[in-house]
Amino acid sequence: MSLSHPLTTTASLLALAAVGAATTAYGVMYPESQLFGSSLVAPPLPNQLALTFDDGPNPAATPRLLEVLARRKVRATFFLIGNFVRLEPALTREIAAAGHAIGNHTMSHPFLPKHSAARILSEIADANAVLEDTLGTPITLFRPPHGGRSPAVFRAARSLNLQVVQWNLIVGDWKDASVDTILSRLENGIVRNHLRRRGTNVVLHDGGQAGLGQPRLKTVEAVHLLLDRLPPDTAFVTPTGGTALWG
Protein backbone atom coordinates (compact mmCIF):
# COMPACT_ATOMS: atom_id res chain seq x y z
CA MET A 1 0.00 0.00 0.00
CA SER A 2 1.36 3.42 -0.93
CA LEU A 3 0.79 6.45 1.25
CA SER A 4 0.68 9.99 -0.10
CA HIS A 5 3.48 12.22 1.02
CA PRO A 6 2.15 14.86 3.46
CA LEU A 7 3.46 17.69 1.28
CA THR A 8 1.70 16.24 -1.77
CA THR A 9 -1.54 15.92 0.15
CA THR A 10 -1.26 19.49 1.42
CA ALA A 11 -0.55 20.81 -2.08
CA SER A 12 -3.59 18.96 -3.44
CA LEU A 13 -5.84 20.37 -0.73
CA LEU A 14 -4.55 23.88 -1.38
CA ALA A 15 -5.17 23.44 -5.10
CA LEU A 16 -8.72 22.28 -4.45
CA ALA A 17 -9.29 25.21 -2.12
CA ALA A 18 -8.01 27.60 -4.78
CA VAL A 19 -10.36 26.09 -7.36
CA GLY A 20 -13.26 26.36 -4.92
CA ALA A 21 -12.44 29.98 -4.15
CA ALA A 22 -12.18 30.84 -7.84
CA THR A 23 -15.49 29.13 -8.56
CA THR A 24 -17.20 31.00 -5.73
CA ALA A 25 -15.75 34.32 -6.90
CA TYR A 26 -17.05 33.60 -10.40
CA GLY A 27 -20.52 32.88 -9.06
CA VAL A 28 -20.55 35.97 -6.85
CA MET A 29 -19.15 38.58 -9.22
CA TYR A 30 -19.11 37.53 -12.89
CA PRO A 31 -22.16 39.34 -14.33
CA GLU A 32 -23.21 36.52 -16.65
CA SER A 33 -22.74 33.70 -14.13
CA GLN A 34 -25.71 31.45 -13.44
CA LEU A 35 -23.86 29.41 -10.79
CA PHE A 36 -26.03 30.27 -7.77
CA GLY A 37 -29.29 30.98 -9.59
CA SER A 38 -30.95 32.30 -12.72
CA SER A 39 -30.22 35.90 -13.73
CA LEU A 40 -31.45 37.81 -16.74
CA VAL A 41 -28.39 39.06 -18.60
CA ALA A 42 -29.17 40.31 -22.09
CA PRO A 43 -31.87 40.36 -24.74
CA PRO A 44 -31.49 37.72 -27.44
CA LEU A 45 -31.27 39.77 -30.63
CA PRO A 46 -28.26 41.91 -31.66
CA ASN A 47 -30.39 44.96 -32.48
CA GLN A 48 -31.96 45.01 -29.01
CA LEU A 49 -30.69 47.43 -26.36
CA ALA A 50 -31.71 47.61 -22.71
CA LEU A 51 -30.69 50.89 -21.11
CA THR A 52 -30.62 50.44 -17.34
CA PHE A 53 -29.81 53.06 -14.72
CA ASP A 54 -28.72 52.34 -11.14
CA ASP A 55 -28.53 54.26 -7.86
CA GLY A 56 -31.32 56.79 -8.34
CA PRO A 57 -33.55 58.59 -7.99
CA ASN A 58 -31.21 61.58 -8.09
CA PRO A 59 -32.61 65.11 -8.43
CA ALA A 60 -29.28 66.29 -9.84
CA ALA A 61 -29.52 64.08 -12.94
CA THR A 62 -32.68 61.97 -13.20
CA PRO A 63 -35.03 64.76 -14.39
CA ARG A 64 -32.67 65.67 -17.25
CA LEU A 65 -32.29 61.99 -18.14
CA LEU A 66 -36.07 61.60 -18.29
CA GLU A 67 -36.19 64.52 -20.74
CA VAL A 68 -33.55 62.91 -22.96
CA LEU A 69 -35.35 59.56 -23.00
CA ALA A 70 -38.74 61.15 -23.61
CA ARG A 71 -37.45 63.12 -26.58
CA ARG A 72 -36.57 59.86 -28.33
CA LYS A 73 -39.49 57.89 -26.87
CA VAL A 74 -37.09 55.41 -25.27
CA ARG A 75 -38.23 53.18 -22.42
CA ALA A 76 -35.50 52.29 -19.92
CA THR A 77 -35.20 50.46 -16.59
CA PHE A 78 -34.33 52.20 -13.32
CA PHE A 79 -32.99 50.22 -10.34
CA LEU A 80 -33.69 52.48 -7.35
CA ILE A 81 -32.20 52.64 -3.85
CA GLY A 82 -34.90 52.51 -1.19
CA ASN A 83 -33.45 55.24 1.03
CA PHE A 84 -33.43 57.64 -1.92
CA VAL A 85 -36.99 56.69 -2.88
CA ARG A 86 -38.07 57.72 0.63
CA LEU A 87 -36.42 61.11 0.11
CA GLU A 88 -37.65 61.59 -3.47
CA PRO A 89 -41.09 59.97 -3.78
CA ALA A 90 -42.34 62.48 -6.35
CA LEU A 91 -39.34 61.90 -8.62
CA THR A 92 -39.82 58.14 -8.24
CA ARG A 93 -43.41 58.48 -9.38
CA GLU A 94 -42.29 60.68 -12.26
CA ILE A 95 -40.01 57.89 -13.52
CA ALA A 96 -42.88 55.42 -13.41
CA ALA A 97 -45.35 57.86 -14.99
CA ALA A 98 -42.97 58.22 -17.95
CA GLY A 99 -43.44 54.51 -18.64
CA HIS A 100 -40.08 53.22 -17.47
CA ALA A 101 -39.62 49.89 -15.72
CA ILE A 102 -38.56 50.13 -12.08
CA GLY A 103 -36.55 47.63 -10.09
CA ASN A 104 -35.26 47.12 -6.56
CA HIS A 105 -31.61 48.03 -5.79
CA THR A 106 -31.82 47.45 -1.98
CA MET A 107 -32.30 50.05 0.75
CA SER A 108 -28.70 51.18 1.22
CA HIS A 109 -26.56 49.59 -1.54
CA PRO A 110 -24.44 47.13 0.50
CA PHE A 111 -22.33 44.34 -0.99
CA LEU A 112 -24.83 41.65 -0.09
CA PRO A 113 -22.67 38.47 -0.15
CA LYS A 114 -20.71 39.58 2.91
CA HIS A 115 -23.86 39.98 5.03
CA SER A 116 -26.09 37.56 6.90
CA ALA A 117 -29.17 36.04 5.29
CA ALA A 118 -31.33 38.15 7.62
CA ARG A 119 -29.64 41.41 6.57
CA ILE A 120 -29.87 40.43 2.89
CA LEU A 121 -33.59 39.77 3.16
CA SER A 122 -34.16 42.99 5.11
CA GLU A 123 -32.31 45.12 2.52
CA ILE A 124 -34.32 43.71 -0.36
CA ALA A 125 -37.72 43.40 1.37
CA ASP A 126 -37.58 46.90 2.87
CA ALA A 127 -36.73 48.43 -0.51
CA ASN A 128 -39.57 46.50 -2.11
CA ALA A 129 -41.99 47.82 0.50
CA VAL A 130 -40.88 51.43 0.00
CA LEU A 131 -41.14 51.14 -3.78
CA GLU A 132 -44.54 49.47 -3.73
CA ASP A 133 -45.92 51.93 -1.16
CA THR A 134 -44.65 54.83 -3.30
CA LEU A 135 -45.84 53.52 -6.65
CA GLY A 136 -48.81 51.37 -5.75
CA THR A 137 -47.69 48.60 -8.08
CA PRO A 138 -45.78 45.33 -7.55
CA ILE A 139 -42.01 45.29 -8.08
CA THR A 140 -40.72 42.29 -10.01
CA LEU A 141 -37.09 43.17 -10.85
CA PHE A 142 -34.02 43.22 -8.61
CA ARG A 143 -30.41 44.13 -9.30
CA PRO A 144 -27.91 43.34 -6.52
CA PRO A 145 -25.56 46.24 -5.75
CA HIS A 146 -22.19 45.69 -7.42
CA GLY A 147 -23.75 42.62 -9.03
CA GLY A 148 -22.86 40.62 -5.93
CA ARG A 149 -24.83 37.39 -5.64
CA SER A 150 -24.80 34.39 -3.33
CA PRO A 151 -27.24 31.56 -2.63
CA ALA A 152 -28.77 33.69 0.14
CA VAL A 153 -29.33 36.58 -2.29
CA PHE A 154 -31.21 34.31 -4.68
CA ARG A 155 -33.27 32.80 -1.85
CA ALA A 156 -34.31 36.26 -0.69
CA ALA A 157 -35.16 37.38 -4.22
CA ARG A 158 -37.24 34.26 -4.87
CA SER A 159 -39.13 34.70 -1.60
CA LEU A 160 -40.22 38.14 -2.83
CA ASN A 161 -40.99 36.97 -6.39
CA LEU A 162 -38.17 39.08 -7.78
CA GLN A 163 -36.23 38.31 -10.95
CA VAL A 164 -32.49 39.03 -10.65
CA VAL A 165 -31.20 41.20 -13.50
CA GLN A 166 -27.50 41.49 -14.34
CA TRP A 167 -25.84 42.96 -17.46
CA ASN A 168 -23.38 42.35 -20.29
CA LEU A 169 -21.96 45.86 -20.58
CA ILE A 170 -20.70 48.20 -17.88
CA VAL A 171 -18.80 51.37 -18.75
CA GLY A 172 -17.52 52.81 -15.45
CA ASP A 173 -19.48 56.04 -15.79
CA TRP A 174 -19.49 56.50 -11.99
CA LYS A 175 -15.70 56.97 -12.02
CA ASP A 176 -15.88 60.57 -13.31
CA ALA A 177 -15.17 59.49 -16.89
CA SER A 178 -15.55 62.09 -19.63
CA VAL A 179 -18.57 62.19 -21.91
CA ASP A 180 -16.41 61.04 -24.84
CA THR A 181 -15.02 58.12 -22.82
CA ILE A 182 -18.46 56.97 -21.71
CA LEU A 183 -19.81 57.25 -25.25
CA SER A 184 -16.85 55.35 -26.74
CA ARG A 185 -17.23 52.53 -24.23
CA LEU A 186 -20.94 52.32 -24.94
CA GLU A 187 -20.50 52.13 -28.69
CA ASN A 188 -17.62 49.65 -28.53
CA GLY A 189 -19.48 47.42 -26.08
CA ILE A 190 -22.61 47.35 -28.20
CA VAL A 191 -20.52 46.37 -31.23
CA ARG A 192 -18.80 43.58 -29.24
CA ASN A 193 -22.13 42.15 -28.16
CA HIS A 194 -23.45 42.44 -31.71
CA LEU A 195 -20.51 40.35 -32.92
CA ARG A 196 -21.47 37.75 -30.29
CA ARG A 197 -24.98 37.84 -31.77
CA ARG A 198 -26.31 39.15 -28.48
CA GLY A 199 -28.32 42.16 -27.55
CA THR A 200 -26.92 44.60 -25.01
CA ASN A 201 -28.02 45.22 -21.44
CA VAL A 202 -25.92 48.15 -20.24
CA VAL A 203 -25.51 49.44 -16.69
CA LEU A 204 -25.37 53.21 -16.36
CA HIS A 205 -25.82 55.43 -13.32
CA ASP A 206 -28.12 58.41 -12.81
CA GLY A 207 -27.22 58.46 -9.12
CA GLY A 208 -24.60 57.26 -6.68
CA GLN A 209 -24.61 55.27 -3.47
CA ALA A 210 -22.90 58.08 -1.52
CA GLY A 211 -26.10 60.13 -1.45
CA LEU A 212 -28.41 62.37 -3.41
CA GLY A 213 -26.90 65.00 -5.70
CA GLN A 214 -24.15 62.88 -7.23
CA PRO A 215 -22.80 64.41 -10.48
CA ARG A 216 -24.11 62.23 -13.30
CA LEU A 217 -24.81 64.74 -16.07
CA LYS A 218 -21.87 63.37 -18.09
CA THR A 219 -23.69 60.05 -18.22
CA VAL A 220 -26.88 61.81 -19.32
CA GLU A 221 -25.05 63.66 -22.09
CA ALA A 222 -23.36 60.46 -23.27
CA VAL A 223 -26.78 58.78 -23.48
CA HIS A 224 -28.12 61.77 -25.40
CA LEU A 225 -25.30 61.47 -27.96
CA LEU A 226 -25.65 57.68 -28.14
CA LEU A 227 -29.34 57.90 -28.99
CA ASP A 228 -28.51 60.22 -31.88
CA ARG A 229 -25.92 57.79 -33.27
CA LEU A 230 -27.54 54.37 -32.91
CA PRO A 231 -28.71 52.51 -36.04
CA PRO A 232 -32.35 53.21 -36.90
CA ASP A 233 -33.31 49.55 -36.38
CA THR A 234 -32.27 49.61 -32.70
CA ALA A 235 -35.06 48.18 -30.54
CA PHE A 236 -35.17 49.43 -26.94
CA VAL A 237 -36.30 46.73 -24.52
CA THR A 238 -36.71 46.16 -20.79
CA PRO A 239 -36.49 42.95 -18.74
CA THR A 240 -40.24 43.15 -18.11
CA GLY A 241 -41.09 42.28 -21.71
CA GLY A 242 -40.41 38.80 -23.05
CA THR A 243 -38.18 37.80 -20.14
CA ALA A 244 -38.31 34.16 -21.17
CA LEU A 245 -36.19 35.10 -24.17
CA TRP A 246 -33.47 36.78 -22.13
CA GLY A 247 -30.36 34.75 -21.28
- Distance in angstroms (rounded) separating the CA atoms of residues 179 and 231: 20
Q: Pick the catalytic residue from 105, 109, 205, 224.
A: 205
Q: Pick the catalytic residue from 54, 55, 173, 206.
A: 54
- Distance in angstroms (rounded) separating the CA atoms of residues 56 and 186: 20
3-state SS class at 202:
strand
What are 109-112's contacts with CB under 8 Å, separation 24+? 109/55, 109/81, 109/145, 109/209, 110/145, 111/145, 111/146, 111/148, 112/144, 112/145, 112/148, 112/149, 112/150, 112/152, 112/153
Active site residue 54: yes
Phi and psi at residue 238, in whole multiples of 5°? Answer: -130, 160
Pairing of strands 77-80, 39-40: unpaired
- Distance in angstroms (rounded) separating the CA atoms of residues 133 and 41: 28
CA nearest neighbour of 78 among 243, 200, 239, 246: 239
Provide the annotated active-site residues.
54, 205
